[in-house]
Amino acid sequence: MAERTPLFAANWKMHKTVGETEAFLDALLPRAEELRPAELVVCPPYPSLAAAAARCAGSGVRVAAQNMHSEPQGPFTGEVAAPMLTEVGVDAVILGHSERRLLFSESDDALAHKLPAALEAGLTPILCVGETEAERDADQTEAALRRQLEADLARAPDSRLAEVVIAYEPVWAIGTGRNATPDQVAEAIAFIRSLVARRDEVAGEAVRILYGGSVKPGNAAEILGEDGAIAHLAPRHAGHVHAHDPYVAHVYLQTFMRVSAWPMRREIGPDPATVDLWGTGGAGGGGGGAWWPRPGD
């Protein structure tokens, strides 16, 4: 089994000004080393990326953007290119978040161009995939995941698949109060890994897969502590992370801090970050450690 470093990604969505970003990171960074060897990624809005990168420089905490265009420059009003991100110190980027797909009609074809562009620019792509409620209820989860992954990774070289981080975010569990069970999460992640392995067996073992979907203080410890989750949080011991199995839990920093009972949460306030990606606010998009949710989800 490949060694995979646990990854906690916090998607802040459209939250935090530059000043709030700096204050939050000033509180977080002194404690970040306690999470070693786990890797932390914060994903602020565009205006705060430079400030976040400057604060995080040399800390081990990585900074990711929430989207990017596939072209390096051009007449694309409102878009941001990979070279613009790398110049300010960003080293990762979220691609295909469910909100981008749903609210901004982002297509798998667009993602198929964005992903290799991110790799070429030296950015780690955090690719989000997941089924809708209708697809889950119709027993079409695997079909939805297959469709997205095969299309989104189509232009990525096999030799670089292991560099992609995949965030599994069941859309029906984002901000709805419904939670995927540990068994459902494990089944989806195993299926995703098998799809990557069909392209490249080594990459299938090495790729990191995050989970996000209504992870929050009340359930983060259970989700992260279950067999099949790569990270285990001991609620009373901040930063007590064990990479003891194949999967990576992607948790909102907000929830992580609360579950860990860090004193600094009082300094940061009630909603330190939305960890989306599917659970980073809850592990990425939907809750304490995964990516895809809202503050407070």
The amino acid at 77: T
What pLDDT, on a 0 to 100 scale, did the predictor assign at position 218? 61
Choose the catalytic residue: 15, 20, 69, 97.
97
Q: How are beta strands 92-95 and 7-11 bridged, if at all?
A: unpaired
What pLDDT, on a 0 to 100 scale, did the predictor assign at position 175? 67
Is the Cβ–Cβ distance between 137 and 179 less than 8 Å?
no
Question: Helix, strand, or coil here: 81?
Answer: strand
Q: Which residues make beta-bridge pairs with 62?
A: 41
Choose the catalytic residue: 20, 106, 169, 250.
169
232 in active site:
no
222 in active site:
no
CB atoms within 10 A of CB 11: 40
Question: Helix, strand, or coil here: 139?
Answer: coil
Q: Which of 63, 59, 28, 65 is nearest to 46 (CA)?
A: 65
Is the Cβ–Cβ distance between 28 and 59 less than 8 Å?
no
What pLDDT, on a 0 to 100 scale, did the predictor assign at position 276? 34
How many CA atoms lie within 13 Å of 39's alpha carbon, on the beta-carbon side? 14
Which mean pLDDT values do the consecutive 10-residue runs of the chain (297 residues) have? 77 90 88 78 95 94 96 97 98 95 96 98 96 93 98 97 94 78 86 96 92 67 47 27 29 41 34 33 30 28
DSSP 198-258: HH-HHHHHH-EEEE-SSB-TTTHHHHHHSTT-S--B-TTSTT-B---SS------HHHHHH
What pLDDT, on a 0 to 100 scale, did the predictor assign at position 285? 29
The amino acid at 79: E
- 157 contact partners, CB below 8 Å, separation of at least 6: 116, 119
| Topology classification of domain 7-31+46-69+79-268 | TIM Barrel (3.20.20)
Q: Is the peptide bond before 37 cis (omega within 30 degrees of 0)?
A: yes
The Cα 156–Cα 20 span in angstroms is 36
